[in-house]
Chains A and B, each alone.
Chain A
Amino acid sequence: MVNGIGGGGGMAREAIAAAMRAQQQAAQNISGGASLQAGQGLGATEAPGASGPLGGVGSIGGTEATSFAKQLSDGLSQVTDRVAATDQLPEQMLNGEVSDFHDVAIQLKQSDLSFRFALQVRNKLIDAYREVMRMSV
């Protein structure tokens, strides 16, 4: 499913990875003990994400944006990895390779959550893109 979204365009890929990056920053801030900063972290990363549909694709090739583009694809591949790992779970469970029930349930939940977070950001970006397309020039 994630592959399908990724194939939908570089923008969706950006969106997903931007979400993951924002989450990482938020997690870092939370672990730092400042829950207020977590909100700032989310807000701050929205800016590059929102500029994605406007100038994102062009600037990805530039040297300044390479690390950003890399992070984007890294984030997406992390979600993909997690979902792919979950795909093998039923087989592993039948083969007796999974020793704990909760491991299966937690892995399912984790891939579900990470996918839904990615999907949600992708939806937001598509919305923004449509808004821009509707602008009269």
Chain B
Amino acid sequence: MSGLDKLFSGMRSTSSGLSAERVRMDVIAENIANARTTKTAGGGPYRRQLVKFEPLMQRAANGQMLTVGMKKAEVVEDFATPFERIYAPDHPDRDENNEILMPNVSATREMADLVSAMRAYEANLAAQENFTRMAERALQIAR
């Protein structure tokens, strides 16, 4: 880590947080877009996706491991929520009982997740702004 990077380490952490929340929003958008996808390439309806995050570690000069932000670990599928079975006699994907399996995406839950992702994004932005303001105020000392 160079000197300047150290100087801006707070900014880098929030930057990774912003990126992570953006990934989360992308995944939520994917879920909402596929809320009525009843057939996927793997067979069966679309399965809701979730993002897993983990801290971003970096080895410091003295060999110590430091947390320098966070990153997307992987996108996993939601196996906990069951598919909804609904009666749809005119649907092309219906089975012999005239029923189809709907994706396990709940619009309400996705919207709630979207709001929380947006708030987290805003929190990171606020931290970023304050870091900048601190640096600028510190610069005022030299004036």
Task: Report Cα–Cα, A79/B5, bound state, in Å.
Answer: 11
Contacts of A23 in B (CB 8 A): 3, 7
Contact segment of A4-12, A57-65, A88-96, A109-117: A109-117
B11 touches A110 (CB 8 A): yes
Are B142 and A124 in contact, with the CB atoms below 8 A? yes
A28 to B125, CA, bound (A): 24
Task: Report the bound CA distance from A124 to B142 in whole Å.
Answer: 8
Give the interface SS of chain B, mostly helix, strand, loop or mixed: helix
Q: How far is the CB of B47 from chain A (nearest CB, A)?
A: 25
Contact across chains for A100 and B3 when beta carbons are under 8 A apart:
no
* Chain B 1-16 interface 0/1 with A at a Cβ cutoff of 8 Å (1 = within): 0111011110100010
| Chain B residues numbered 1-44 whose CB sits less than 8 Å from any CB in chain A | 2-4, 6-9, 11, 15, 18-19, 22
Interface Cβ pair total, 8 Å cutoff? 57
Interface residues on A, range: 20 to 34
Q: Does A103 contact B (CB under 8 A)?
A: yes
Alpha-carbon separation in the docked complex, A82 to B9 (Å): 14
B33 to chain A, nearest CB (A): 19
Contact residues in B for A20 (Cβ distance below 8 Å): 3-4, 7
A113, closest chain B residue (CB): B135
CB pair B3–A75 under 8 Å, yes or no, is yes
B136 within 8 A of A: yes
Q: Which residues of B contact A106 (CB under 8 A)?
A: 11, 15, 128
Q: Report B's interface with A, CB cutoff 8 A.
A: 2-4, 6-9, 11, 15, 18-19, 22, 125, 128, 132, 135-136, 139, 142-143
Q: A100-B18, A102-B19, A117-B135 are in contact. List 12 more A-B contacts (CB 8 A).
A: A20-B7, A24-B3, A28-B6, A78-B3, A82-B4, A100-B19, A102-B15, A106-B11, A106-B15, A117-B139, A120-B142, A123-B142
